[in-house]
Amino acid sequence: MTKQGLETMDTVIELAERKRDEALAALSATRRELQAAQEQMDQLTAYANEAQQRWQTRCASGVDAAWLMHHRQFMAKIDHAIDFQTGVLAQKQHQIDQTQRQVHETERELATLRQYVARQQEAIQQRLMRREQKQTDEMAQNAHRRRAESDSTFQSLHT
């Protein structure tokens, strides 16, 4: 791979990092939404319990049929709201599960890209080292040959 190819891969990695960061942000937002939905559920449940306790206190002194019907309608509405909120919680949990899978996928893709680039950089480094070694060997060989020729010329002049 060339230097330009590695620069292109750096851009690809930046895009993968951005995609991962967006997935992490979506996961964080969905977790906040789940927390808010859970708080609403807790409030509904607490309100239903409080209303039921008030009703029991009132029942101790006696109630008429109209109050009983009103209480049942009221509790039915609260139960409906709790059922609805249970669905919201399930939906938010499903979104979190999906988003977590997306985060894991983007992290895996990013790790794969980084590993690929690291291998390519290592291969480039090895090629450079082999090229440098070859040049060093050639220089040593040329120096040795020149020394041998010089020694040979020197000996022939002195004999």
**pLDDT value of residue 3:** 66
**pLDDT value of residue 91:** 97
| Contact call for residues 99 and 26 (beta carbons, < 8 A) | yes
3-121 maps to which CATH number?
1.10.287.1700
> What are the pLDDT digits (tens) for 61-81?
887 888 889 999 999 999 999
Range with the poorest average pLDDT among 34-38, 42-46, 136-140: 136-140
d(CA 27, CA 22) in angstroms, rounded, equals 9
Percent of the chain exceeding pLDDT 70 equals 94
DSSP 44: H
- The whole-number average pLDDT for the span 6-29 is 92
How do the domains of the chain map onto residue ranges? Answer: 3-121
